[in-house]
Structure 1
Amino acid sequence: MFLSALFAALLSVPATAQQQYGPTGVGEGVYSIARQFRAAQSDLNLRQWALAIYAANRNAFNGDLNSLRAGVMLNIPSVEQVRLSWSQGLNAEQSATNPPPIAPAPTPFLSDAEVAAIDANQAVPAPAGLESLQIKQVTPTPRAQAAAPAPAVHAPPPGPQTMLAADTQRTPALPDTNGDDTSAAHEHFTAHPLHAQAVNVSNAAQRGEVLEQLLAMEAAYAGDPDYDYLLGVLLLDSGRPQDALFPLLRATQVKPQGLGIRLDLGRAYFETGENESARQVFEQLNKQNPPPRAAQVIDSYMQAIDRRAARYEPHWQALIELLGGHDSNANSATDLQNFAGFVLDEQARSSDSPYAELAGNVQYVRPFSPRWRWLNLAQASHRSYTDADEFNTLQWRVGSGLSYRQGDWELSGRVSGGQTYLDGEQNNDVTAFNAAWRLNVSPLLSTRLQFKLGSIRYADALSVRDVDQWLVSAGFSRRVNLAYGSEFGLDLIGGRDDAVENTSPNSRDVLGAGLFASTQLSPRWRLQLNSNLLQADYEGLFFGIERSDVQWFTVAGLRFTDNRWRNWAIGLEASYVDNQSDVDIYEYDRLDIALRVSWMLN
């Protein structure tokens, strides 16, 4: 198998400076990681990097390239390791019988008899071996002959765009042109000394030199199928598939039945992301009863096109969680017995109790294009206290929005709404609009901006607490190589609540900061910490006193996962709130300790 050969090749490459990446996030893919590490000057394409990362981290995937697990550390090979291992892996693949499971295989070389049989629409017997034989097109068409109609494919306009390099570098298979040259300006390109030099290029440096010379000759030789095909293949192997389309289309107009030409035309469409045009080319080739090796290559490309299309298909994910624990202050209330000469009611004082909680959420994502996605989320939870059932809480939220991703940044926006019920009675309604912008500055550093605009409306008896609010935050995340991989981040927070009722004292300004840290202690154990410090300055008076609160909120959790139960996780977490206020009745603290069992479905 190709990946086995690539994995063995990676092991055989001498170790150089090797980086680590992680822990991986939920929904993160190997191609986005490969894009961050691919050196700009490297002659390796994105797919080669992705496969090398996969081969070096097989345990980090759930069986295939598109199933990277969250929360794992990846070993990132160096440029030299990827180049050498890819070369060795390809050599080993020549003796394998199955195509690569992820990336299409390089076009195998076919014999003259095989190609001739294809062009004659005859059945071709299976080849005896996998010896490398050059493709030669039969029945050459002189340049003066009227060109046959091109295959019904739609090429994007040619232009100098830098695209992903080809899967492998290979010697192009050239058509055989034995006809007389009808051009008075020059003879067939096969007679030019550069022809033999171009066919025998063996490395990227030689390819670049020959390509420059070929481009300088385009005005003289454009339309010669030998020149056009050779120019197209070298452009394709140099990571310029968009530029390769035009000469390859010219070659197909002169030789519409050329197997090698149309295989590389389909490959160029594939590399530029023109999936449907590539599919049409390969489907037409399949109808010509290609020999087994050519059919194998065509099939591998068709599978890759299908995998790309699957990225634009809707997908969903659900999470169900069961919690059990103890809450020291179920209603976030003061410990005071008396305040301002009044004896406080029992429900106005803190109540501790064990509890059980059932929570869940469903996410549905529908991509519209490589950049646009429709995001949907529904979540609900119910907490039941054994010793304080008057504070039993039911909450639900639903939201929908869009995200747009381009390069290293992503912008998203979502509208949401929900309700909270306390002891079976409606307590409040919440509506909000959230927007977020994220930029990956480097493989280890990302920055973000977040904005929220919303409102909270309470039941009639509590309408004095109704507010409209906005909140903005800016921060960063940084990955570090500590233990099995760690990450930390910081956010600065600012916002305001505006009371809806004119006589309400609940208008306030909010300033604060949030810190989070996460470290993978071992392949199975992960430790997380989130802490926020907020100051709220109220504009109104509370019991004749100016109010200013400082709240510290911290959550620490230890989570266990195992590949044998990959959809399950168990964790122990503790949260602590300390609210200090100038008004004594609003001072409280709260400690919540729980055991959490999670089950994910997708």
Structure 2
Amino acid sequence: MLRPVLFATACAGLACTAGPALAELDDAVANALALYQAGRSQDAFALLIPLQATRAGDADYDLALGIAAADSGHPAEAVIALQRVLAIQPDNAQARAELARAYALAGDIDTARAEFDTAMQDPSLPDPVRQRFDQIVRNYDRQIAGGGSDVSGFLDLTSGFDSNVNAATDLDSIVIPLFAGFGPGQLGANAQATDAAYLEAVGGISAVSGVSRQTRLFGSLLANIRENLEAGFDQAAATGTAGVAHTLANRDVVSLSVQGQQFWLGGDSFRQAIGVIGQYTHRLEGGRALSVSGEVFRQNFDNDPLRDSNRYGAGVTYAARTFVLSAAGGREETRRSAGDHLSYTYGRANLAFELPAGDRVAVVGGIGGQIRGYDADDPLFLTAREDEQLDASLGLKFRMTGNVYARPRVTYTRNWSNIALYDYERFTASFGIRAEF
């Protein structure tokens, strides 16, 4: 992060501790700086901001307020406070560097770069600090030119146990209304819940490239393969995405992408899907964001044309530092009227979290629910299917070394359906190793 770099280098090079020594400051400023140095920037800002009406123009106060405001997600207040410092002390290189950082946080990279240029003209600036500032300026130049290119990815290897690999009922027989006169019908092995150990590999790579200061191209490829040992129902999928994202003047981001997926079941091609996704993300203070999205997909099923469908959906997501809350709804509509009993409307909500529990470990998990209502009566069960599904997961994320993590996890799924064939319960326990680059 830019903040620790600026604070550490500026203080070392300019012989300061965010201003004059604490002993020389009044209690309010000294207490605020102590809070800041303890990592409590928001508390420091909350202590100082109510005093602005009477203390504005005091260089020590304004510098402390500017530092705390910038570090707690209030760049506009930081810019104003630091400008007051420079109005009184135009040669204050630290205040100018902090002002540059505040402009950068507010999204004004051009002004941030200009302020750093001015700070670097101070002949008293030590060489180590000058070199660090020069690196920051080069980074700004890179952003102004579009941000350059970046590639990242991951590989996740998992083994575990699944109590119901085929998401099927645990009943061995059911009554089919269309054939009720014949009594309960015996279900085949593939229609009953099957447990098995499994191996799974998931990998992905993504790339982003700036074409201008505000516009970036992005793309990704995600693939996974899962083998259920001695049980069948093996699965594999490959998903490719490509799109463009544009950052607006208020730092909100709008993006549009195309996505295609191929899914295999039991080693055979099962489904293809291709569609368009649009998203608008509004950035909030403290690293939070609120997004709305919409999607349109076309799905084709091999050897089952009645299931070919168009899928429409919209959702909203709130992302914070430790959790993501999302809700979505939409419709999957078959393209042939004979498949109306497979068309459905859905709604879902999900909460996912990652809570630090130490320097190298975090608790991860989530809980979500989904409802689905189908359009027409099932031809065998003579009623329209209705499902309610609950999903939950809980695990740990251990940092083993660098960007390599160990991830033990358990999951639980319960699907309630008014048609017994689709009513099921599922539990998994797994251990995985994940490497990120």
Give the TM-score category using the shorter length. 0.7 to 0.9
State the SS of the aligned residue for 2:342: coil
The Cα RMSD (Å) is 4.5
Partner of 2:410: 574
Q: Is 1:337 matched up with 2:180? A: no
- Give the number of the structure whose alpha-carbon radius of gyration is greater: 1
The whole-number CA distance in structure 1 between the counterparts of 2:426 and 2:408 is 17
Partner of 1:470: 312
Partner of 2:423: 587
**1:160-171 equivalences in 2 (<5 Å):** none
Q: Which TM-score applies when normalising by structure 1? A: 0.54
Q: Is 1:560 matched up with 2:398? A: yes
The whole-number CA distance in structure 2 between the counterparts of 1:500 and 1:21 is 56
The whole-number CA distance in structure 2 between the counterparts of 1:524 and 1:238 is 33
In structure 2, do the counterparts of structure 1 residues 514 and 445 end up closer, same or farther at CA, with 3 Å as the change threshold? same
In structure 2, do the counterparts of structure 1 residues 206 and 577 end up closer, same or farther at CA, with 3 Å as the change threshold? closer
Match of 2:238 among 380, 393, 396: 396
Q: Deviations over 1:48-70 (max 9, x none)?
A: 679x96xxxxxxxxxxxxxxxxx
> Which residue identity lines up with residue 303 of structure 1 in the other structure?
Q
Q: Deviations over 1:221-257 (max 9, x none)?
A: xxxxxxxxx9x999x969999xxxxxxxxxxxxxxxx
Q: Is 1:541 matched up with 2:377? A: yes
Partner of 1:325: 160
Query: How many residue pairs end up in the alignment?
Result: 380
Q: Deviations over 1:397-451 (max 9, x none)?
A: 1101122224342222221111111222101112222222222333275422122
The whole-number CA distance in structure 2 between the counterparts of 1:551 and 1:270 is 47
Preserved CA contact (<8 Å) 1:450 1:473: yes
Q: Is 1:272 matched up with 2:111? A: yes
**1:46-445 equivalences in 2 (<5 Å):** 204=85, 207=88, 272=111, 302-311=134-143, 312-339=147-174, 340=176, 341-388=184-231, 390-406=232-248, 407-443=250-286, 445=288
In structure 2, do the counterparts of structure 1 residues 163 and 516 end up closer, same or farther at CA, with 3 Å as the change threshold? closer
- Give how far 1:301 is off: 5.6
Structure 1 range deviating more: 580-589 or 11-20: 11-20
- Give how far 1:514 is off: 2.0
- Give how far 1:453 is off: 1.6
Partner of 1:6: 11
> Which residue identity lines up with residue 169 of structure 2 in the other structure?
T
> Which residue identity lines up with residue 328 of structure 1 in the other structure?
S
State the SS of the aligned residue for 1:391: coil
State the SS of the aligned residue for 1:9: coil
In structure 2, do the counterparts of structure 1 residues 20 and 351 end up closer, same or farther at CA, with 3 Å as the change threshold? farther
Match of 1:507 among 335, 343, 347: 343
In structure 2, do the counterparts of structure 1 residues 532 and 163 end up closer, same or farther at CA, with 3 Å as the change threshold? closer
> Which residue identity lines up with residue 532 of structure 1 in the other structure?
G
Partner of 1:493: 328
In structure 2, do the counterparts of structure 1 residues 419 and 163 end up closer, same or farther at CA, with 3 Å as the change threshold? same
Q: Which runs of 4+ in 1 moved over 4 A?
A: 10-14, 17-22, 38-50, 76-79, 161-166, 236-241, 291-302
State the SS of the aligned residue for 1:387: coil
State the SS of the aligned residue for 2:352: strand
Identity across matched positions, percent:
19
Structure with the larger strand share: 2
Structure 2: any 5+ residue segments left out of the alignment?
23-29, 43-47, 53-60, 101-107, 177-183
The whole-number CA distance in structure 2 between the counterparts of 1:296 and 1:496 is 59
Preserved CA contact (<8 Å) 1:46 1:164: no
